[in-house]
Amino acid sequence: MRVAVVTGASRGIGKACAKRLAADGDIVVINYSHSEEQAQAVLDDIRENGGDGMLFRADVSKLDEVKAMMRATIQAYSQIDILVNNAGIVKDAYLLMLDPKNLDYCMDVNVKGYFYCAQQATLKMFRKKKGVIINMSSVSAQMALAGQSVYSATKGAVNAMTKTMAKELAPYGIRVNAIAPGFIETEMIDALSDEMRAEYLKSIPLGRFGKAEEVASLVSLLCSDRMAYMTGQTLVLDGGLSL
Ligand code: NAP
């Protein structure tokens, strides 16, 4: 049995990852920061399908809350085998309109939050000398989308941290990889106007947005021993958008 902590699992990609890992037989810790009802619905769904896990409310940008989450996971299940660093936010703004508060907020959640969770989960993974960390990045790290300089910078940081963490943690049996999705049908892209959606669709060679379940399939594969020799990589999953 493996224990997986999935951050930002109350909806979207995180929810799909939690459900997929539970279907793979993993116990899942469903993290959220505000959406308790949605997170509970994810756990109920997992239980109805024969899986198990628990909810944990923690703002990943707060180190003490992340520590409490990892501690509670160890108290409940005695181990952490998988961390999916997924909780992320987007606050698009053109450079000249940048609000310093939003800049801090994005850095705190999308960058510091990933470090805090990776550090605290790793401390628990050391016991077994085995573990997997998946960092949710974005194709925005390598493609320039106007208004996304902050978001793309945070995701560039995720790609860079993934490589270095992978090198540091390999001797301890911990693999670290990132996934860079393109446009995935979640609430994060619901904010797009119909015009923008149509425009973006034209630029995707496969002609559609991706599904959260497709990202979850890749998470599942990267967590499996079939990928035991893969570490430090960022895998792009974007229907060809970045080609
Ligand atoms: P989403 O639908 O907006 O869901 C975000 C999740 O993160 C929610 O469960 C939210 O829970 C949680 N969250 C936000 N701030 C948090 C915090 N401080 N602490 C803990 N949880 C927090 O987003 P998504 O589209 O599934 O995206 C998930 C990840 O994939 C993000 O890292 C995003 O950058 C990346 N991504 C998404 C796309 C896309 O097209 N959707 C493309 C590329 C990359 P609460 O409501 O409880 O806060």
- Do residues 177 and 162 lie in contact, with contact meaning Cβ atoms separated by under 8 Å? yes
Task: Copy the structure tokens of residue 187.
Answer: 């609430």
Q: Which atom of ligand 1 is nearest to the CA of 14?
A: 26
Q: Ligand 1 pocket: which of 19, 89, 109, 140 to mutate (most atoms <8 Å of CB)? A: 89
Average pLDDT score over residue span 199-226: 97
Each residue of 109-161: pLDDT tens digit? 999 999 999 999 999 999 899 999 999 999 999 999 999 999 999 999 999 99
pTM: 0.98
- Do residues 14 and 84 lie in contact, with contact meaning Cβ atoms separated by under 8 Å? yes
Residues in the chain, total: 243
Each residue of 218-239: pLDDT tens digit? 999 999 999 999 999 999 999 9
Predicted local confidence at residue 144, as pLDDT: 94
Give Cβ neighbours of residue 63 (< 8 Å, ≥ 6 apart).
Answer: 116, 120
Q: How would residue 9 be classed by pLDDT, with cut points 50, 70 and 90? A: very high
Give me ligand 1 centre to Cα 171, in Å: 31
Predicted local confidence at residue 160, as pLDDT: 98
- Do residues 240 and 40 lie in contact, with contact meaning Cβ atoms separated by under 8 Å? no
Q: How would residue 196 be classed by pLDDT, with cut points 50, 70 and 90? A: confident
- Do residues 30 and 5 lie in contact, with contact meaning Cβ atoms separated by under 8 Å? no
- How many Cα atoms are found within 13 Å in the side-chain-facing hemisphere of 40? 4
Q: Ligand 1 pocket: which of 15, 20, 29, 33 to mutate (most atoms <8 Å of CB)? A: 33
Closest protein CA for atom 33 of ligand 1:
88
- Residue 193 pLDDT > 90, yes or no? no
Predicted local confidence at residue 19, as pLDDT: 98
Closest protein CA for atom 27 of ligand 1:
13
Which residues on neighbouring strands pair with residue 30, listed in sequence order? Answer: 6, 55
Average pLDDT score over residue span 65-87: 98
- Residue 187 pLDDT > 90, yes or no? no
- Residue 188 pLDDT > 80, yes or no? no
Task: Copy the structure tokens of residue 75.
Answer: 């108290």
Q: Which atom of ligand 1 is nearest to the CA of 32?
A: 47
Q: Ligand 1 pocket: which of 186, 200, 214, 219 to mutate (most atoms <8 Å of CB)? A: 186
Give me ligand 1 centre to Cα 12, in Å: 7
Cα distances (Å, whole numbers) of residue 72 to 29, 68, 216, 231: 10, 6, 25, 28
Give me ligand 1 centre to Cα 166, in Å: 23
Place of tokens 């053109």: 94
**What is the DSSP secondary-structure string of 207-233?**
SS-B-HHHHHHHHHHHHSGGGTT--S-
Task: Copy the structure tokens of residue 239.
Answer: 């229907």
Average pLDDT score over residue span 5-25: 98
Average pLDDT, the chain: 97
Catalytic residue numbers, as ranges: 151
* DSSP H helices in the chain: 12-23, 36-48, 63-77, 100-106, 113-125, 149-169, 187-190, 194-202, 212-223
Q: How would residue 190 be classed by pLDDT, with cut points 50, 70 and 90? A: confident
Each residue of 46-72: pLDDT tens digit? 999 999 999 999 999 999 999 999 999
- Residue 22 pLDDT > 80, yes or no? yes
Predicted local confidence at residue 120, as pLDDT: 98
Using CA atoms, how far apart are residues 145 and 157, in angstroms rounded to an integer?
Answer: 17
Task: Copy the structure tokens of residue 186.
Answer: 């979640």
Average pLDDT score over residue span 25-40: 98
Residues with a CB atom less than 6 Å from ligand 1: 7-14, 31-35, 59-61, 86-89, 109, 136, 138, 181, 183-184, 186-189
